[in-house]
């Protein structure tokens, strides 16, 4: 593979990637065959990301490619780097090799995620809560849904379906529903009695048990 032969294609590829992802996406092409390593950058799109031009000194990846055995170095994808002024970049380094597998060029992508990181932290701060989504209360559309939600929560608290609940667990269920205000809902007693397989009279007895000294 001759980098001069493929440089036009690589430039078009760099242009396409930078256009696709916008001004925060820098794409750099290094020529490792250049006799002057200080000028290894032969093409750069959106150099404003790292404040580099084709006259800028090479980065660490260039030195690694020149120093290490070609069989040792590998493409490095989706890793983090930082600029001199502290911006955070998500980077990928792809080595361009000749027919003998020797690195002759580098195709690098550096995407500035600083603003996205700030936004992510802000969003996490706004959406964080002392509770997780599994324990979040549902917002019902009517009293029937509200009572259904309370019954569902009762089963979760007891930890077993109604058919397997003991008398003591049904007492616990009724007392939870009472504390939650379920019986303030019109005809809630009938629905709870049917749900738990007990009578309305039994429900009131279970409520009274808690109030007895």
pLDDT digits (tens, 9 = 90+) for 77-130: 999 999 888 999 999 999 999 888 888 889 999 999 999 999 999 998 888 877
CB 42 within 8 A of CB 30: yes
Encode pLDDT of 2-53 as tens digits: 566 588 999 999 999 999 999 999 999 998 887 777 778 999 999 999 999 8
CB contact at 8 A, 70 and 103: yes
Cα–Cα distance list, 209 to 63, 100, 155 (Å): 79, 86, 20
Confidence band for 195, pLDDT divided at 50, 70 and 90: very high
User: What's residue 134's pLDDT?
Assistant: 63
Is the pLDDT score of 135 beyond 70?
A: no
Phi/psi region, residue 159 (left: phi>0; alpha: psi -120 to 50; beta: rest), is left
Closest to 97 in 3D by CA, of 76, 75, 64, 79: 75
* Residues listed for the chain: 213
**Residue 35, φ and ψ in degrees, nearest 5:** -70, -25
Q: What is the pLDDT of residue 66?
A: 76
Q: What pLDDT score does 101 carry?
A: 87
The architecture that CATH gives domain 3-120 is: 2-Layer Sandwich (3.30)
Quick one: tokens of 195? 């749900």
Give the pLDDT score at 142: 84
* Domain layout of the chain by residue ranges: 3-120, 133-211
pLDDT(194) > 90:
yes
Per the prediction, the chain carries an average pLDDT of 87
């Amino acid at each position: 593979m001759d980098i001069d032969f493929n440089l036009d294609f690589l430039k078009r590829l760099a242009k396409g990637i930078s256009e696709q992802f916008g001004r925060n996406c820098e794409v750099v092409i290094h020529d490792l065959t250049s006799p002057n390593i200080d000028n290894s950058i032969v093409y750069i799109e959106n150099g404003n990301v790292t404040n580099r031009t084709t006259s800028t000194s090479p980065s660490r990846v260039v030195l690694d490619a020149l120093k290490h055995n070609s069989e040792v170095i590998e493409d490095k994808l989706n890793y983090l780097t930082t600029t001199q002024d502290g911006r955070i970049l998500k980077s990928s380094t792809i080595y361009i090799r000749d027919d003998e597998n020797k690195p002759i060029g580098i195709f690098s992508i550096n995407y500035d995620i600083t603003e996205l990181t700030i936004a992510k932290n802000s969003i996490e701060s706004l959406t964080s809560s002392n509770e997780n989504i599994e324990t979040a209360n549902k917002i019902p559309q009517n009293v029937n849904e509200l009572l259904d939600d309370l019954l569902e929560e009762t089963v979760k608290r007891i930890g077993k379906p109604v058919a397997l609940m003991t008398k003591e667990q049904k007492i616990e269920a009724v007392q939870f529903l009472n504390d939650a205000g379920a019986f303030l809902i019109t005809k809630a007693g009938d629905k709870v009695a049917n749900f738990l397989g007990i009578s309305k009279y039994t429900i009131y007895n279970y409520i009274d048990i808690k109030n007895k000294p």
